[in-house]
Amino acid sequence: SFFPGLAQEPGKFNYDESQVGTYTLPPLLQTTGGQKITSATQWNTTQRPALLKLFADNVYGRLPGKPAGMHYKVVSEDKQALGGKAILKQVTIYFTPADTGASMDVLLFLPKQAKGPVPVFAGLNFKGNHTVHPDPQIKVTSRWVAEDKNAGITGNRANEQTRGLQASRWVVEEIIARGYGLATAYYGDLEPDYPEGYKTGIRTQLRKNLKIQPNEWGAIGAWAWGMSRMLDYLETEPAVNAKKVALQGHSRIGKAALWAGVNDPRFAIIISNESGEGGAALARRWYGETVARLNEAFPHWFSPNYRKFDHNPNQMPVDQHQLLALVAPRPLYVASAQEDQWSDPKGEFLSAQATAPVYALFGKKGIDSSAMPGLNQPVGETVRYHNRSGKHDVTLYDWQQYLSFADKHFGQAQ
Ligand code: GCU
C-alpha cells in the first residue's frame, strides 16, 4: 500500500448492500435553475460548462492552461526495440523555456510495422517509466518514489531492480501487436504523491508564492494537467494520430484521467480502471470508500472545497455520474474488479449506466440495462463497463477489453 497502515482500515467501512440506504442523484438533464435540457446543443452550451465549473469549484479545483515556453527534447530513440517490433522513444517535456525547470519524461512505444500515424494509449504510471517495461535503456526515474519494501524501494529512490516491476499493468507487447502505440510518464514528475509533495511539484514550480485557494487544484489536478501536456507533445509527433488518443488511468490516476478527459476534449476515448471514490463511483452511495476518508487519507488530492462535503456528500452540487457524462459523446470505458470492493464496483456501474440519457442526446448508446452485469461480461456500447474477477489491479484482461473497445471506435488499428 502507498500509505502503510491504511491497508487494514478500509475493512471498517460499509460493505453491506442493505445498509446503503436511499439517495437522490442531482439531475443530468436539468440545470440548477430548473431548466430542462433536451438537445445536444443545450447540453454543450448550457449544462456541460455549468457542470464542469461545479466540479472545478467543489471537487478537483481549477486547472491552468498550457504554459508558454513549453518545449520538447528527444532523449533517445531506438528503432529496434522489442526485438525489432517497436520504436522506443524517450522525450522530455519542459514546462518552461529553460531546460532546467519543471519537466516530465515521456516514454513512447510505437509499432514498427505501421503504415501511417497510429492510435495511441496514453496514461501516467505509478512507479516510474522504467517499471513499465524491463528494457534496460529506459531511464530510471531520479524523482521521489513511494517506499516499497517488497520491491526494495527505500529512501524514496528508485533502483535498477525495479525495472519492469509494473510490466503486467502495461502489456506493452500486446498493445504493440494490436497496432497501437503507448505513451506514459511517471505521475511523480508532476507531483510527488504525499501531502507536502506539492512543494516540489508543478503546482509550486509553475506559480511562485502559491497560496492554496478554496478551489485550488490538488495533486489529481496536477496529474490531469500533465496528461494534457503529454497530448500536446503527441500532437507534434508525426508517427502518432493525435486524434485517436485513448487516455487510461488506474485508481487515483483513474480519477485524474477522468478529470483530464472531461477538461480536454482532444482525448478521444477515456478509460477509468477502478477509479472508485472521487472517480467513477457515486459519492452518495454509502459503500466502500467515503469522501471523508478520501480527504483524510489524501488531503493533497482534491481542492480544499471538497472537504466541505466530507460528512454530507448529499449536499454536493454534483455527483460522479455527472462527471462521467461530461465525457459524452466520446467513448467511455469504466472498469471495476470484484475483489476491489473499496472502489464500489456497483457504484461505478450505476454511475456509468446513469449517463445513458446524455449519450442519447447525441444519438449514442450507453448501457441500457440497470442490472449489474455478471463477472467478466462487458456491457454497453459508447459507454462500456466490466467487473473483472480478481483484485485491484490492471490486467491483460482489462487491456484486451480496452483494445477491442478502441478497435470498435477508432476502426481497427492494423
Ligand atoms: C487508496 C485510495 C483510493 C485510490 C487507491 C489507489 O485505496 O483510498 O481512493 O483509488 O488508493 O490509487 O490505488
**What pLDDT, in 10s, does the model give residues 298-346?**
999 999 999 999 988 999 999 999 999 999 999 999 999 999 999 999 9
C-alpha span between 124 and 109 (Å, rounded): 14
Candidate from 287, 296, 342, 391 with most ligand 1 atoms within 8 A of CB, to mutate: 342
Cβ of 276 below 6 Å from ligand 1:
yes
User: What are φ and ψ of residue 236, in 5° steps?
Assistant: -95, -5
Span 22-50, pLDDT tens digits: 999 999 999 999 999 999 999 999 999 99
Span 212-260, pLDDT tens digits: 899 999 999 999 999 999 999 999 999 999 999 999 999 999 999 999 9
Q: Is 392 a catalytic residue?
A: yes
Q: Which run of H or E residues covers position 295?
A: helix 291-297
pLDDT attached to residue 2:
38
Cβ of 105 below 6 Å from ligand 1:
no
Distance of CA 336 from the midpoint of ligand 1 (Å): 13
Span 62-99, pLDDT tens digits: 999 999 999 999 999 999 999 999 999 999 999 999 99
Distance of CA 339 from the midpoint of ligand 1 (Å): 14
Catalytic residue among 103, 130, 228, 251: 251
For ligand 1, atom 12: residue with the closest CA: 252
- The position carrying cell 509527433 is 237
Distance of CA 131 from the midpoint of ligand 1 (Å): 19
Show Cβ contacts of residue 25 under 8 Å, excluding neighbours closer than 6 positions: 282, 284, 319, 321, 354
Span 116-173, pLDDT tens digits: 999 999 999 999 999 999 999 999 999 999 999 999 999 999 999 999 999 999 999 9
Cβ of 289 below 6 Å from ligand 1:
yes
Q: What is the ipTM of this complex?
A: 0.98
Q: Is 370 a catalytic residue?
A: no
Query: Rounded to whole angstroms, what are the CA distances from 161 to 127, 137, 138?
Result: 12, 14, 13
Residue 349 has pLDDT above 50, yes or no: yes
Distance of CA 356 from the midpoint of ligand 1 (Å): 27
**Ligand 1 atom closest to 251 (CA):** 10
Cβ of 294 below 6 Å from ligand 1:
yes
Q: How many CA atoms lie within 13 A of 203 on its CB side?
A: 29
Residue pair 211/48 in contact (Cβ under 8 Å)? The answer is: no
pLDDT attached to residue 11:
66
List residues bridging with 270 in a β-sheet: 247, 332
pLDDT attached to residue 411:
93
pLDDT attached to residue 208:
76
User: What are φ and ψ of residue 134, in 5° steps?
Assistant: -75, 0
Number of Cβ within a 10 Å radius of residue 116: 7
Identify the CA nearest to 405 among candidates 278, 253, 244.
244
- The position carrying cell 438537445 is 39
Identify the CA nearest to 191 among candidates 95, 310, 59, 335.
95
**Ligand 1 atom closest to 253 (CA):** 12
Give the pLDDT band (50/70/90) at residue 8. very low
> What pTM value is reported for the model?
0.97
pLDDT attached to residue 10:
66
Cβ of 340 below 6 Å from ligand 1:
no
pLDDT attached to residue 352:
98
Identify the CA nearest to 222 among candidates 208, 210, 206, 235.
206
C-alpha span between 291 and 324 (Å, rounded): 18
Identify the CA nearest to 71 among candidates 46, 98, 50.
98
Query: Rounded to whole angstroms, what are the CA distances from 62 to 215, 230, 248, 263?
Result: 6, 19, 21, 10
How many percent of the chain have pLDDT more than 70?
Answer: 97
pLDDT attached to residue 9:
59
Distance of CA 252 from the midpoint of ligand 1 (Å): 5
